[in-house]
Structure 1
Amino acid sequence: MSVRDASHDWHRSRVWELAGEGGARWYVKVSPSVKFFTRETRAYRSVVPALGHSRAPHLLDSHADDLTLLLTAAPGAPAPGMGLTAVEWRAVHSQAGMLCAQLHEASELDPRDRAEAEASLAAAADGAEKYLGRAGNRLTGGEQQLVRDYAAQLRRIGPVPLGYIHGDNQPRNWLWSEAGLALVDFERTRPAARVQDLVILAVTEWLDHPDREQAFLQAYGRALTGAERHALRCLTALDAVNCSAWGPDNSHPEVTARGRRTLDRLMKEDRP
């Protein structure tokens, strides 16, 4: 048996691929925290099965004492590294929309999960000051006020559709193959406002490729409500300050650039 480090480019990511005879593969993952371990094991047992066979890994075993999961290997490779054509990218986003709809509607929320989901937008707004503090002088005074304004608006958003979200829904966690798309990495899966699963896509993929957004939402099965559209804009501002804090602190220029691009765009549109 051979072992390959398959971790993300983040110091707390610890994932190894195990390859056996006959092409058999498995993954061993050590969760970065008890919270992530609890979320991910619960997701694999209660939510992920709704995606269907070959659309996600399966949990074979887990050990809470060392936060370890043993997973099957889903088919495919991360979409960003495959040199896909524009047509293929639209197909990827279409299948991502379909799978997200299945995940978001995986099961009825029990009372405890519903309460968490209903509070998710306010919880996101509550994090604004923490990230502003961590970002410090990386943001101008005007940018800091912009983030606070959007956090305040987010608290006033009306009812939005709720469900179980992936939590890190972006192409690096999408595996593409002839069999179609599979989702991986469910450590952030939780009950929340469904629109929270679209934030990273809105400020990266869809900003430059609106045809991908159209393909996603068509397969998702519905257009976003007005409240969701408003919430999404607010959430992109909060994502920007989060990126401005987390990116430099973790030497991650791609995340840092994502935050800066969003802040520049929102300032241009809101404070011309």
Structure 2
Amino acid sequence: MTGLAPAVLAWAAGTLGARPEAEDASRPRTDARVWKLTLPDGARFYLKLSPRPLMYERETLALRHAAPALGAGHAPRLRASNAQHLALLLTAVPGRSLEQQTLTPADEARAHRHGGVLLARLHRAGELSGPRRKEAAAALRAAADGAGNHLHRAGLTAPERKLVRGLTTRLRTLPPLPLAFTHGDARERNLLWSRTHRQAGWIDFDRSRFATAVQDFVPLACTTWTDRPDLRAAFLQGYGRDLTPEEKQALTCLAGIDAVNCLAHHDPTLTARGRRTLDRLMAGVFA
């Protein structure tokens, strides 16, 4: 990991009014570079450098117009942004990633329930009209169309390819589903839980966009919820409703597409996730 460029650090210091101490806080398997900034008075902020302009634009939009709907302390606040450096200066959110904590089953359920409450708020945020509504309405078809880009690299058997093609076809035939402003990467690594404050928070909005609401449930459905139906139930309780039958069909189809995308990469973690999802789909036990 390269160090923080002096020009970017100087911009952050000028914005904060003091020169901070910078500590690399980047996470594995992500392209973004993140530094924890600590001011002389102990105040903490985060400086995030987006890997691509689109991700910078998406996160900036989310933090300005949608994430504030989650409430104070439940998402970062955008202190400043710098398009030249694709830099975002963010406030710290209480808590740590669920991926980094060992919690009691009761606290895990509580964190997922709070996470569901916050995701419902996010889904209702943003003005869903005009081009944004059109973008959201086209999201499922775009996901189905994109599956073909990875299918030849996923190393599937003939029956598996047939299954995935059938799922993408079914996805294209579903009726219109509820639309939302989605987080885009709603998984445990981006869901924080503060034991002190007993509250949750979401971070990393660089994949956020207007889409179908059900698309935000794919990451959890293909990871944590696989072995923990109790956490799925807690999350949806917080979200305020169960998925409709059509959304459940869409979730199954999207899981197949997610599996192909994972298997097309050479990351062992993604490969294991994709293989497990595909095996469950082949066995007919994905729900």
Percent identity of paired positions between Structure 1 and Structure 2: 49
Find the counterpart in structure 2 of residue 171 from structure 1.
188
* 1:266 Cα deviation after fit: 1.0
Name the amino acid aligned to 2:281: L
Aligned residue among 141, 147, 152 for 2:164: 147
Match of 1:78 in 2: 97
Q: Which of 15, 34, 37 is the equivalent residue of 1:15?
A: 34
Could you tell me how far apart the structure 2 residues matched to 1:123 and 1:176 are?
Answer: 33
**CA 1:11–1:108 in 2, change beyond 3 Å: closer, same or farther?**
closer
Q: Matches of 1:30 and 1:245 in 2, distance apart?
A: 26
Q: Distance in 2 between matches of 1:262 and 1:44?
A: 32
Distance in 1 separating the partners of 2:174 and 2:192: 34
Q: What stretches of structure 1 of length at least 5 have no aligned partner?
A: none
TM-score (norm 2): 0.89
1:10 to partner: Cα distance: 2.6
1:263 and 2:278 are equivalent in the alignment = yes
Please show how residues 10-49 of structure 1 align to structure 2 within 5 Å.
10=29, 12-49=31-68
CA distance in 1, matches of 2:248, 2:158: 26
Aligned-partner SS, 2:125: coil
TM-score normalised per structure 1 = 0.94
Shift of 1:228: 0.3
User: Does 2:169 align with 1:120?
Assistant: no
Q: Partners in 2 of 1:33 and 1:41 — Cα distance?
A: 12
Letter in 2 for 1:141: A
Between the aligned partners of 2:29 and 2:106, the Cα distance in structure 1 is 31
Query: Residues 95-127 of structure 1: CA distance to partner in whole angstroms, max 9, x if unpaired?
Result: 011001000001330211100000000000011
Aligned residue identity for 1:36: M
Give the match for residue 232 of structure 1. Answer: 251
Displacement after TM superposition at 1:162 (Å): 0.3
Distance 1:65 1:166 in 2: 24
Give RMSD over aligned pairs: 1.2
Q: CA deviation at 1:200?
A: 1.1
Instruction: Give the match for residue 101 of structure 1.
Output: 120
Count of aligned pairs: 264
Call closer, same or farther: CA 1:176–1:11 in 2, change over 3 Å: closer
Does residue 264 of structure 2 align to residue 245 of structure 1?
Answer: yes
Aligned partners of 2:116, 2:31: CA distance in 1, in Å? 29
Whichever structure has more helix as a proportion of its residues is: 1
CA distance in 1, matches of 2:249, 2:107: 30
The separation in 2 between residues aligned to 1:79 and 1:240, in whole angstroms, is 23
> 1:11 and 1:212, CA in 2 relative to 1: closer, same or farther beyond 3 A?
closer
1:228-257 superposed Cα distances (whole Å, 9 cap, x missing partner): 0000000000000000013x1xxx221110
> 1:22 offset after TM fit, Å?
3.0
**In the alignment, which residue of structure 1 is the partner of 2:232?**
213
Amino acid at match of 1:258: R
Q: Segments of 4+ in structure 1 off by > 6 A?
A: none
Larger mean CA deviation between 205-214 and 188-197 belongs to 205-214
Task: Indicate the SS of the match to 2:264.
Answer: helix
Distance across 2 between alignment mates of 1:108 and 1:221: 21
Q: CA deviation at 1:146?
A: 1.2
Task: Give the deviation of 1:11 after TM superposition.
Answer: 5.9
Q: Distance in 2 between matches of 1:51 and 1:198?
A: 18
Please give the secondary structure, in 2, of the residue aligned with 1:134. Answer: coil
1:260 is aligned with what amino acid? R
Give, in angstroms, the shift of residue 133 of structure 1.
2.7
* Structure 1 counterpart of 2:135, one-letter code: E
